[in-house]
């Protein structure tokens, strides 16, 4: 019977119909499926399916990216409250928009997907200084710093990712904390992430979550 709910949930997510997705989840709970079943067998596979879809179609609708992430995050947060015991999180990421950058949509998509993949997210907001990124990562024991930049000058600015890399090196943290970046400038120049000292980049918000999970696993034993 769970297969029926999986199909219904996937259809709702594809149509970006949050209320229908939540209704599907609630019916599954009423039919005796556990919160764990819903997260691990329904929500996470749906996110992974969307990731695969976007890899095949990089021009997929941005609103669909956002709604997929938000639905997944909302459902996951509601289900975590119902787990029989607290789930083991994969790791933790500190995320924010680069210094001088006020755009937030990209990082909100990434945050939503990460939450559904059992990653603890510390969102620092927009216009975040390099020092704040690194200090927060240390304080929160995060494995990854993720920086979104939607403009070239915030991507390559001396107070952005370049300074985060310099601080990580200065404090001897490069083996403990990885740096991921994303945003429009990196799509225009796929090698730009290397120029700003990042360990990895992703072309869109959904696949950024996949990239960040891979970086966490590089750091975390």
pLDDT tens per residue, range 114-151: 888 889 999 999 999 999 999 999 999 999 999 999 89
Res 201: pLDDT:
94
Q: How confident is the model at residue 56 (pLDDT cuts 50, 70, 90)?
A: low
Q: How confident is the model at residue 191 (pLDDT cuts 50, 70, 90)?
A: very high
Query: What are the residue boundaries of the structural domains of the chain, listed by start?
Result: 1-81, 91-219
Res 58: pLDDT:
57
**Pairwise CA distance, residues 39 & 61, whole Å:** 24
As its CATH architecture, domain 1-81 has Orthogonal Bundle (1.10)
Residue 54 has pLDDT above 80, yes or no: no
CA distances from 117 to 162, 180, 220 (A): 28, 17, 16
pLDDT tens digits for range 143-176: 999 999 989 999 999 999 999 999 999 999 999 9
Axis crossing angle, helix 44-56 with helix 205-219, rounded to the nearest 10: 120
Res 145: pLDDT:
98
Percent of the chain with pLDDT over 90: 43
Average pLDDT of the segment spanning 27-45: 87
91-219: what CATH class? Answer: alpha beta
Res 81: pLDDT:
82
pTM: 0.80
Res 37: pLDDT:
87
**Pairwise CA distance, residues 215 & 197, whole Å:** 15
Residue 102 has pLDDT above 70, yes or no: yes
Q: Which residues pair with 123 in a beta bridge?
A: 95
pLDDT tens digits for range 60-69: 566 677 777 7
- How does the average pLDDT of the chain come out, rounded? 87
**If you write DSSP's letter for every residue of 74-93 in order, what string do you get?**
HHHHHHHTT-SSPPPP-EEE
Residue of higher predicted confidence among 22 and 204: 22
Which residues are CB-contacts of 51 (< 8 A; sequence separation ≥ 6)? 113, 206, 207, 209, 210
Q: Could you list the beta-strand ranges (E) of 16-113.
A: 91-97
């Amino acid at each position: 019977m769970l297969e029926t709910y999986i199909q219904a949930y996937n259809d709702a997510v594809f149509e970006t119909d949050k209320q229908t997705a939540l209704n599907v989840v609630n019916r599954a709970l009423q039919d005796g499926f556990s919160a764990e079943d819903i997260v691990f067998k329904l929500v996470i596979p749906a996110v992974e399916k969307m990731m695969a879809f976007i890899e095949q179609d990089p021009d997929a609708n941005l609103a669909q990216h956002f709604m997929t992430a938000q639905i997944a995050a909302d459902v996951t947060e509601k289900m975590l409250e119902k787990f029989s015991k607290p789930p083991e999180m994969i790791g933790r990421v500190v995320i924010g928009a680069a210094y001088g950058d006020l755009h937030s949509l990209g990082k909100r998509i990434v945050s939503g997907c990460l939450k559904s993949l059992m990653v603890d997210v510390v969102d620092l907001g927009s216009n975040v200084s390099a020092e704040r990124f690194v200090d927060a990562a240390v304080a929160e024991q995060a494995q990854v710093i993720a920086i979104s930049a939607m403009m070239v000058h915030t991507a390559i600015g001396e107070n952005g990712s370049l300074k985060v890399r310099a601080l990580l090196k200065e404090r001897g943290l490069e083996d403990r904390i990885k740096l991921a970046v994303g945003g429009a400038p990196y799509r225009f120049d796929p090698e730009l992430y290397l120029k700003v000292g990042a360990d990895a980049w992703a072309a869109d918000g959904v696949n950024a979550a996949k990239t960040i999970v891979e970086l966490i696993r590089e750091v975390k034993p």
